[in-house]
Amino acid sequence: MIPRDPPTRDENAENAGDAPPPQTDLWRPGPSEGGGSFQPDSGTGAAVLDPPDESLTPEEKPEGATAGTDGDRVIRIGSGQGFWGDWQEAPKLQVRRGAIDYLMLDYLAEITMSIMQKQKERDPEAGYAKDFVALMAELAEDLVEKEVRVVSNAGGVNPLGCRTALGHALAAKILPRRPRVAVVQGDDLMASLDELIAAGHELRHMDTGEPLATVRDRVASANAYLGAEPIVTALEQGADIVITGRSTDTALTYGPLMHEFAWSGEDWDLLAKGVVAGHINECGCQASGGNSLVDWRQIDLAVPGYPIIEAKGDGSFIVTKHPDLGGRVTWATVTEQLVYEMGDPTDYITPDVIADFSQIRLQDLGEDRVRVTGATGRRRTDRLKVSIAYHDGYKAVGSLTYAWPDAYAKAERADEILRARLDYLGLAFDEIRTEFIGAGACHGPLAGPPLDDLPEVTLRMGVRGQDRGAVTRFTRELAPLILAGPPTVTGFAGGRPRVQDVVAYWPALIDRDVVEREVRVETIDL
Partner 1 sequence: MRVKLAEIAFARSGDKGDTANIGLIAFRPSVYPILVQEVTEERVKLHFEGICNGEVERFELPNLHALNFLLHNSLGGGGTVSLMLDAQGKTFATALLRMEIDVPEDLLETPSLEPSPE
Q: What angle do CA 471, 476, 477 make, to 5 degrees?
A: 95
Nearer to partner 1, 11 or 344 (CB): 344
Is residue 67 within 8 A of residue 2, CB to CB? The reply is yes
Distance CA 452, CA 436 (A): 13
Please tell me whether the peptide bond between 405 and the residue prior to it is cis, using omega within 30 degrees of 0.
Answer: yes
Nearest distance from C-beta of residue 431 to partner 1, angstroms: 6
> Which three-class secondary structure state does DSSP give residue 152?
strand
Q: What is the largest CA-CA distance in the chain?
A: 79
Closest CB 473 distance from partner 1, rounded Å: 17
Distance of closest approach, residue 7 Cβ to partner 1, in angstroms = 43
Q: What are the residues facing 150 on neighbouring strands?
A: 103, 241
Nearer of residues 311 and 334 to partner 1, judged by Cβ: 334
C-beta of 81 vs 112, nearer to partner 1 = 112
Residues interacting with partner 1, by CB under 8 A?
53, 56, 110-111, 207, 291, 293-294, 330-332, 335-346, 357-364, 374, 392, 395, 397, 431, 433, 435, 437, 441-446, 460, 462-464, 500-505, 507
Among residues 439, 395, 431, 393, the alpha carbon closest in space to that of 414 is found at 439
- Would you say 19 or 441 has its CB closer to partner 1? 441
Q: Which is nearer to partner 1, 290 or 485 (CB)?
A: 290
Q: C-beta of 55: minimal distance to partner 1 in Å?
A: 11
Q: What is 233-294 written as a DSSP string?
A: HHHHTT-SEEE-SSB-TTHHHHHHHHHHHT--TT-HHHHHHHHHHHHHHTTGGGGTTTT-ST
Tell me how far apart the alpha carbons of residues 290 and 306 are, in angstroms, rounded to a whole number: 9
Question: What minimum distance in Å lies between the beta carbon of 23 and partner 1?
Answer: 38
Amino acid in position 64: G
Whether the CB-CB separation of 89 and 318 falls below 8 Å is answered with no
| Residue with Cβ nearer partner 1 (176 or 445) | 445
In whole angstroms, the minimum distance from the beta carbon of 185 to partner 1 comes to: 26
Residue closer to partner 1 (CB basis): 261 or 436: 436
444 DSSP assignment = G
Which of residues 156 and 256 has its CB atom nearest to partner 1 in the complex?
156
Cβ closest to partner 1, residue 10 vs residue 53: 53
Q: Comparing C-alpha atoms, which of 232, 231, 219 is closest to residue 189?
A: 219
Q: What minimum distance in Å lies between the beta carbon of 98 and partner 1? A: 24
Residue 385 Cβ, how far from partner 1 at the closest point, in Å? Answer: 12
Nearest approach, Cβ of 460 to partner 1 (angstroms)? 6
Q: How far is the CB of 119 from partner 1 (least distance, A)?
A: 15
Region class of 495: left (phi > 0), else alpha (psi between -120 and 50), else beta: left
- By beta-carbon proximity to partner 1, the closer residue of 87 and 340 is 340
- What is the Cα–Cα distance from 94 to 344, expressed in whole angstroms? 32
> 352 Cβ partners below 8 Å, 6+ apart?
227, 228, 229, 251, 254, 265, 271, 275, 380
Torsion of CA 411, 417, 420, 425, to 10 degrees: -120
Q: How far is the C-alpha of 345 from the C-alpha of 279, rounded, in Å? A: 12
